[in-house]
Chains A and B, each alone.
Chain A
Amino acid sequence: MTKTDDGTDAVVQVRGLCYSYKTTPALKGVAFSVAEQCIHGFVGPNGAGKTTTLKILATLLKPQGGQALVFGLDVKRRYRQVRRRIGFMPDHSGLYQDMTVFECLDFFAAAYGLRGGRRDRAVGDLLELTDMAGRKDSLVKGLSRGMMQRLNLARALVHDPDLLLLDEPASGLDPRARIELTEILRELSRMGKTVFISSHILSELADLCDSVTIIDRGVVKYSGSVRGLHSLTGEHASYVVTLEDEHPPTQEALEGLEGVLSVTKVEGQSSYRLAFDRSKTDTNAILRAVLESGGRLASFREDTRVLSQAFMELTEPGVP
């Protein structure tokens, strides 16, 4: 296996990847790496080249230039071995509508060459994992979009792959289904799987991902940790403090803290958005100040607006 820039094992290593659809270039020298057992977000606006990259990693498209390695295997030459170790979930359903949930999973288990008891166990486990056991005899065409995505995820996991390639799995899902999907992905990460997930909304992945690659018009604009993305907007960090109820002394305490640049109350809520200089203070000091001021803390999180701002700065306006 190859190594990432920080010396950890790289499950995916992409170097100078190029691909064109006739005369339209989709990828222009894309390069990034994904560390083992992490959740890596692949973010970009529509037409950025996300699906093309994913299809190359899934051995569906042949790279026209550069190299794509999965577990150190070149997708161009060692595609058979790559297919055995990846689970691919495209941006569309990809499921046979005329099958039942159980038949569908059994079908793909057979396609991956699973036999007898191993196949039954795999299908049973996945039905449990995705909470679809109660619907195993339902026809796929009768499932809701959220259930369809869960089934699709189960299908991609049927052969117990080490790497999951997910192309915009949350698109079109309602908030509940999104949260459920996120929970499953976290669980998979805990089970030691590497998850490579694409989306065109950065803030959607910020909480879930360990690392992220931002691509725009076939060019990688950023690849690294989510935290590193914050530094792109300067040395200033931005957080949101939410209290159980209104408590003006907390605002005063925060304003008095060294390194805090601004504290703004969110209209109609008991929340404060604050910006601070990382070199002068940190989140521990802020939390301490809140608690010492007598405020009852409800939540404390990074401000995703900053990520959106970073995303907007990295990507160019307009559709390519």
Chain B
Amino acid sequence: MKGLLHSAPFPLLGKDLVEQAARRRTYVVRVVYAVLLFLCFLLFFYEMASSMAGDIFWMLGYGKRMFEFLVAMQFVGIFLFLPAMMSAALTYEKERDSLSLLFITRLRPWEILLQKYVGHLIPMFTFLFLSLPLLAICYAYGGITTAYLSSAVFVLVLTCLQVGAWALMFSSFCSGTVQAFVCSYVMGVLFYLGPAICCVLVALFTGGRPGGDEDVLFALFPVYIFVDTLGGTLGRVAVRSIPIMLSTVVFLVLARAFLVRRAFVLRRSVMLKVFRWLDGFMHRLNRLVGGIVLVKEPDTLPENAPIAWREVSKQPLGKLSHLIRIFLLIEAPTVLIGGAVVVLGSFRGDCEELTLLLYMVWALAALILTARSANAFVSERANQTLDVLLATPMSGPDIILQKVRALRQSAFVLAVPIVTVVLIEAWAESWTRGGGPPALVYVAFSLAAAGIFLPMIYWVSLWIGLRARTRARAIITSLVVLVSWCALPILAAMALTILTGVDEGPVVYPLLLSPVSIIAMVEFPELADDVLGTPVPVLALVLTYAWHAAVWFLFRWLCLENADRYLGRIGPPAGRRTRRESKGLNRRPV
């Protein structure tokens, strides 16, 4: 490896590979990937063997099914892991101010870009190679033709190239890793599924069935190409993959265009920029109607809580006017779509799309809160403002609680659209039933979910942010924890179902640990009936809520009890803090 580093043709590639090899994270991620892949394959294999009464000879010829499962897992792996790895490729250099140094070397922009591209694709290919032993098992069971195998490998490699180029483009465009990371995923979902979502929305509003040619809608989606050309020759797959290849080239060209133009772009909050532009626009518009001011921004100085004052009067998402804008930005489409679904759905007798809308507003609220709270203290560290704050006599819990005030305000604003959808759904249900009181139990449980899950999310993320040293690590870790929290219990329940062959009762109780499945159970009580075996799962839900509330209070306690240690200053040992101090009430004038 060192030879490669010092060899002339690819110095940047060599440096990246050596750096990655020296990082512990590389091996941790690889082990996690391998464990997940092998575990899922094992469960699939076990389920298959169970369905064939454990007779291994009956399974001969079923290698193709196993192989398809394996390829599906690899697709999931690529979409989950590659954007995270590639999005830091260039932003890492920008954050260290080393990109400018690369520009003054003999390396040309294209060389920098391609060496970075290859340097971050190689680890992904090593992930794909991890499945070779499993591939051998699939092949041994038979049913896989050489053409099928080669076309699968071809599509997987092509997916890596496309997703890699996509993430590299954002890495080249964005000023920071976190921005590039979020853009890669969010825009990725829109890129692949956007056309299909548009078709569904159009169908929803026109009252028809989703239309559009699937070959066109999913022309850039490798998974669709793979599924659509099952059993086809490599040549056919290659022809169908031309749009994917072209899109890869386009992304690389765009990445090259952004590389120099946006190399020295200042790190600014995009949201703040948008709001500034919006402020200017609104002021100009307001002049036409005589300068009406509905909400006056308080122009005061800090009273007794300076950190809380700064959070709500100086931070981009803390200002009252900004919060109102975010609220309107989410609330207006929520009410519009919710109303349309109710009106159009009433003709069909159901409003199931409202559940999808509810999940969307929940996901948005969770994402914004996670990012904000994880960033709350790590941004102070990054801007080097924490030390002077810590040298003041304010107690650690006081500093944290003042920060949390702004988070609470955001959580409240983000909870309103959730409550709106819940109320619309409750009202729609009572309406479709032909009158009668709205589903009070449903409303109560949904409100409780918002009241418990949102504070839990910001306290957990705050705890992660307090312990992390960099912004990227804090936000990415918080998002990973959030996603794992939602997904792992569901996966565990699925695994237990497969292993035991039972799909109700205690086996599926892990579902109660995931906020996603709890919201689903509140939405569809019949689901709770199926999985829990009880028609009114009130007690189970109450216990689940109590568990989540306990998690919230545990993380709150952890943050406040270890506040000084996490913040990085001398403080009382754990458990030795007075009650007044823990509540942030020990502020006395100097």
Contact = CB atoms under 8 A, between A and B. Distances in A.
Interface stretch (B17-25, B182-190, B385-393, B406-414): B385-393
Contact of B570 (A75, A88, A92): A75
A60 B310 contact: no
Contacts of A90: 384, 387-388
A80 B587 CA distance: 11
B302 interface: yes
A99 B384 contact: no
A79 B303 CA distance: 25
Interface string B392-404: 1110000000000
Nearest to A165: B391
B302 A107 contact: yes
B590 A108 contact: no
B568 interface: yes
Nearest to A85: B590
A96 B315 CA distance: 11
Contacts of B309: 107, 110
Interface string B467-506: 0000000000000000000000000000000000000000
Contact of A94 (B302, B304, B385, B571): B385
Nearest to B586: A80
B436 interface: no
A83 B314 contact: no
A64 B217 CA distance: 64
B384 A113 contact: no
B316 to A, nearest CB: 9
B383 to A, nearest CB: 7
A288 interface: no
Nearest to A87: B391
Contacts of B394: 111
B590 A110 contact: no
A76 interface: yes
Given A96-B314, A98-B314, A113-B587, A79 B388 contact: no
Contacts of A257: none
Contacts of B392: 83, 108, 111-112
B569 interface: yes
Contact of B301 (A75, A76, A79, A103): A103
Contacts of A160: 590
Nearest to B587: A113
A231 B554 CA distance: 61
B314 A99 contact: yes
Contacts of B391: 58-60, 83, 86, 88
Contact of A110 (B302, B384, B385, B571): B302
A96 B310 contact: yes
A114 interface: yes
Contacts of A58: 387, 391
B310 A99 contact: yes
B589 interface: yes
B388 A113 contact: no
A247 interface: no
A236 to B, nearest CB: 43
B579 interface: no
Interface string A42-67: 00000000000001001111100000
A114 B589 contact: yes
B243 interface: no
A76 B564 CA distance: 13
Interface string B332-374: 0000000000000000000000000000000000000000000
A118 B393 CA distance: 17
A299 to B, nearest CB: 39
B306 interface: yes
Nearest to B392: A111
B297 to A, nearest CB: 14
Given A107-B302, A113-B589, A114-B590, A88 B571 contact: no
Contacts of A75: 570
Given A61-B570, A99-B314, A115-B589, A107 B388 contact: no
Contact of B384 (A84, A93, A156): A93
A281 interface: no
B573 to A, nearest CB: 11
A111 B306 contact: yes
A150 interface: no
B179 to A, nearest CB: 19
A113 B588 contact: yes
Report the contact-size class of chain B (Cβ under 8 Å from the partner).
20 to 34
Contact of A155 (B301, B383, B388): B388
A159 interface: yes
B393 A80 contact: yes
A111 B394 CA distance: 6
User: Which one of A96, A99, A110, A111 has the greatest number of beta carbons of chain B within 10 Å?
Assistant: A111
A112 B389 CA distance: 10
A152 B569 CA distance: 20
A111 B389 contact: yes
A3 to B, nearest CB: 25
Contacts of B588: 113
A145 B385 CA distance: 16
A95 interface: yes
B540 to A, nearest CB: 46
A271 B398 CA distance: 60
Nearest to B316: A98
A106 interface: yes
Given A106-B301, A112-B392, A60 B568 contact: yes
B301 A60 contact: no
A94 B387 contact: yes
Interface string B436-466: 0000000000000000000000000000000
A224 B553 CA distance: 53
Interface string A179-202: 000000000000000000000000
A138 interface: no
Contacts of B306: 107-108, 110-111
A59 B587 CA distance: 17
Interface in A219-236: none
Interface in B39-92: none
Contacts of B569: 59-61, 79
Nearest to A161: B590
A75 B390 CA distance: 14
A55 to B, nearest CB: 8
B310 A107 contact: yes
Contact of A76 (B387, B389, B570): B570
Contacts of A88: 387-388, 391
Given A61-B569, A83-B392, A99-B314, 8 more contacts: A62-B570, A88-B388, A90-B384, A94-B388, A97-B383, A107-B306, A113-B587, A115-B589
19 contacts: A55-B387, A59-B570, A60-B569, A61-B569, A86-B391, A88-B388, A90-B387, A92-B387, A99-B310, A106-B301, A107-B302, A108-B388, A110-B304, A111-B389, A111-B394, A112-B392, A112-B393, A112-B590, A115-B589
